[in-house]
Amino acid sequence: MIDWQREDFTPCGEQFDLVFDALGKSSFAACRSLLVPGGAYLSTELGPWGQNPVLGLVGPVLARAGVRRVMFPLPAGGQAMIVHLAELMETGEFTPVIDREYALDQVAEAFRYVESGQKTGNVVLRVS
């Protein structure tokens, strides 16, 4: 575990099988040199210009070639997953972290805040 707020982890000189960016504060390009051949960058965010889902789709092909790749967790389970999440929220076992809320007419301000990299949870747009 490396605290991205306290140190730049990219010049560490080590290589890893997996770099997991749980907050979406980095990019595949920044982390590529940290990966061993065949290693993977896993992110929960779309990445710059929405690249992570696209790069994630070609990941299995790249893995067979021993190339460093992106893994992007695509939601699965459809309606059953939504029902399960609703049950977890109702019982209090899952509580989403809401950082800020904006009215729909403040969407530009909301995007600026998200892009600032300062958010610490979800940003919600209220539709009245």
Say what the pLDDT of residue 64 is. 65
- Give the residue among 60, 79, 81 at the shortest CA–CA distance from 71: 60
Mind listing the pLDDT tens digit for each residue in 85-125?
889 989 999 888 899 999 999 999 999 998 887 888 889 99
Average pLDDT over residues 43-59: 74
Please state, in angstroms and rounded to a whole number, the distance separating the CA atoms of residues 121 and 86: 19
Distance (Å, whole) CA 71 – CA 58: 9
**Cα dihedral value 100, 20, 43, 83, nearest 10:** -70
Across 7-21, 50-64, 96-110, least confident range = 50-64
Lowest mean pLDDT among 4-8, 57-61, 106-110, 114-118: 57-61
CB 26 within 8 A of CB 46: no
> Span 66-95, mean pLDDT?
79
pLDDT in tens, 15-49: 999 888 877 777 888 888 888 888 888 887 777 77
Torsion, CA 39, CA 72, CA 70, CA 114, rounded to 10: -120
Question: What is the per-residue pLDDT for 72?
Answer: 66
| pLDDT value, residue 103 | 96
Q: What percent of the chain has pLDDT over 70?
A: 84
